[in-house]
């Protein structure tokens, strides 16, 4: 967390070093606001999808793509949301509420997938955490373009371009919820 300071932020945006303290009690308060803003942006796309896509397998694929596209379109928010810790998360109720709602979209959709005929018998909590782990890990890997280039060139693996990779990996995961 040492790479982010309110003084450095003030210098970067051209205000006095004390200006951020008029708006934020401390660094955690600033980070909480940034995390909350990112979670709101991510949640907007997810909420819209929850309201419109009725098929849970298709919805799970699309939720994953919303997540991957968010990481691509808002990499700074994504980094703050998941790389910066808060000293006490319980102080930031709005952030926790939004974050919980976002995870609930995955949770609800995975549970609906597991209720489909032909679904594997999997502990729902394991499937939910697996879905989030898959999409989050995929997002992180796809953000690292030099790694993707290395895999394609040095290992002769060509999975397609960024969105094609995301779609293939997401489909593979979704299909893993169903019996063969």
Per-residue pLDDT tens digits for 100-140: 999 999 999 999 999 999 999 999 999 999 999 999 999 99
- What backbone torsions phi and psi does residue 59 show, to the nearest 5 degrees? -60, -40
Residue 1 is predicted with a pLDDT of 42
**163 versus 14: which is more confidently predicted?**
163
Using a cut of 0.85, tell me whether the model's pTM lies above it: no
86: pLDDT strictly greater than 50: yes
User: In CATH, what number is assigned to the domain containing residue 17?
Assistant: 1.10.357.10
Q: Residue 133 falls within a domain, yes or no?
A: yes
Q: Residue 1 falls within a domain, yes or no?
A: no
| Cα 152-162-50 angle, rounded to 5 deg | 150
Q: Residue 83 falls within a domain, yes or no?
A: yes
Q: Residue 98 falls within a domain, yes or no?
A: yes
Q: Which range marks the domain in which residue 95 is found?
A: 6-176
Output the DSSP codes for 75-120: HHHHHHHHH---S-GGG-HHHHHHHHHHHHHHHHHHHHHHTSTTB-
The confidence band for 13, taking pLDDT boundaries of 50, 70 and 90, is: low
Q: 77 Cβ partners below 8 Å, 6+ apart?
A: 34, 37, 38, 41, 70
Output the DSSP codes for 118-171: TB----HHHHHHHHHHHHHHHHHHHH-HHHHHHHHHHS-----SHHHHHHHHHH
Residue 10 is predicted with a pLDDT of 63
Q: Residue 97 falls within a domain, yes or no?
A: yes
User: Cα(first)–Cα(last) distance of the chain, in Å?
Assistant: 45
Per-residue pLDDT tens digits for 43-77: 999 999 999 999 999 999 999 999 999 999 999 88
What percent of the chain clears pLDDT 90, i.e. is strictly above it? 54
84: pLDDT strictly greater than 70: yes
In the numeric block, which tokens belong to residue 95?
């952030």
Number of domains the chain contains: 1
Residue 3 is predicted with a pLDDT of 57
């Amino acid at each position: 967390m040492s790479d982010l300071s309110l003084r450095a932020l003030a210098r970067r945006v051209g205000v006095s070093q004390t200006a951020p303290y008029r708006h934020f009690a401390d660094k955690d308060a600033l980070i909480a606001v940034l995390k909350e803003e990112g979670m709101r942006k991510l949640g907007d796309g997810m909420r819209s999808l929850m309201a419109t896509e009725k098929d849970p397998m298709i919805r799970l694929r699309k939720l994953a793509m919303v997540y991957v596209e968010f990481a691509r379109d808002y990499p700074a928010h994504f980094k703050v949301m998941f790389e910066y810790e808060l000293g006490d998360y319980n102080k930031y109720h709005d952030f926790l509420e939004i974050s919980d709602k976002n995870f609930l979209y995955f949770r609800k959709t995975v549970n609906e997938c597991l209720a489909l005929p032909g679904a594997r018998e999997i502990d729902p909590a394991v499937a939910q955490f697996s879905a989030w782990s898959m999409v989050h890990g995929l997002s992180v890997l796809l953000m690292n373009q030099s790694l993707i280039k290395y895999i394609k060139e040095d290992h002769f693996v060509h999975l397609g371009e960024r969105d094609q990779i995301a779609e293939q990996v997401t489909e593979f995961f979704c299909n893993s919820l169903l019996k063969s």
